[in-house]
Amino acid sequence: MRRFAAAVGVVLVHALVQALLVLPGLTPAMGVGFVALAAASAMALVAFSATTLVLVGTPGARRPRIVRALAAVIVALVVVGALTVLSPLAGAVGLLVAFVVASPAGGADAGAPDGPRSFRRHPFRAVLLLVATALTIVVAVVAALVLGLFLTGAFGAFLTWVVAGALVVLTARGWARLAVRTRG
């Protein structure tokens, strides 16, 4: 129950940080202020993602889990960002693969290579979770569009990040658990 409460707290703090970064209302431009806010947003996303991976992973020594999770998150975000620049569809596929590979990185009993191994060990569960992850990505995108259309500003950003964060925690937990099953 403590880990669940910690995950809820991480989601809410991250959503609050992202909402506060919207308050200045800067438009996308190459100005120093906008670039600084975008960098702060990216750092908050990295911190949230790595913390989430450690929380959903199996308990063990903290330091190696944090370093592995941080490395997996940074690599995943760079790859997904680069793919999204090429094509939004490529970015969505990259995000799907990033969930499979990065989610187990925060656990003591599994690492990033155990995500893809779950397809060999538990093919039905892995394919089912892959479909659920794809649907989760679609739900997150639709929720972001709807919330962005009807609720603008900091409140809309807060709700968008709460929904996205909750979906990320649930999906990462599924892949982390499946990777542990792969090892066991």
Phi and psi at 28, nearest 5°, equal: -60, 115
Q: CA 46, CA 93: separation in Å to the nearest integer?
A: 19
State yes or no: pLDDT of 60 exceeds 80. no
State yes or no: pLDDT of 62 exceeds 80. no
pTM: 0.86
Q: Check if the beta carbon of residue 137 is closer than 8 Å to that of residue 92.
A: yes
User: What value does the mean pLDDT of the chain take?
Assistant: 88
pLDDT for 73-88, tens place per residue?
A: 999 999 999 999 999 9
CA-angle at 34, arms to 27 and 168, nearest 5°: 90
In sequence order, the 6+-apart residues with CB closer than 8 A to the CB of 160 are: 15, 143, 144, 147, 148
Q: How much is the pLDDT for 181? A: 61
Q: How much is the pLDDT for 58? A: 77
Q: Check if the beta carbon of residue 165 is closer than 8 Å to that of residue 7.
A: no
Q: CA 3, CA 8: separation in Å to the nearest integer?
A: 9
State yes or no: pLDDT of 184 exceeds 60. no
pLDDT for 111-149, tens place per residue?
A: 777 888 888 888 999 999 999 999 999 999 999 999 888
pLDDT for 20-35, tens place per residue?
A: 998 877 667 778 888 8
144, with CB counted inside 10 A (0-12, 13-18, 19+), is middle
Band of residue 183 on the pLDDT scale cut at 50, 70, 90:
low
Q: How much is the pLDDT for 79? A: 93
Band of residue 15 on the pLDDT scale cut at 50, 70, 90:
very high
State yes or no: pLDDT of 2 exceeds 90. no
Nearest to 37, CA basis, from 52, 23, 16: 23
- Written as one string, the DSSP assignment of 48-104 is HHHHHHHHHSPP--HHHHHHHHHHHHHHHHHHHHHHHHH-HHHHHHHHHHHHHHHGG
Q: How much is the pLDDT for 148? A: 85
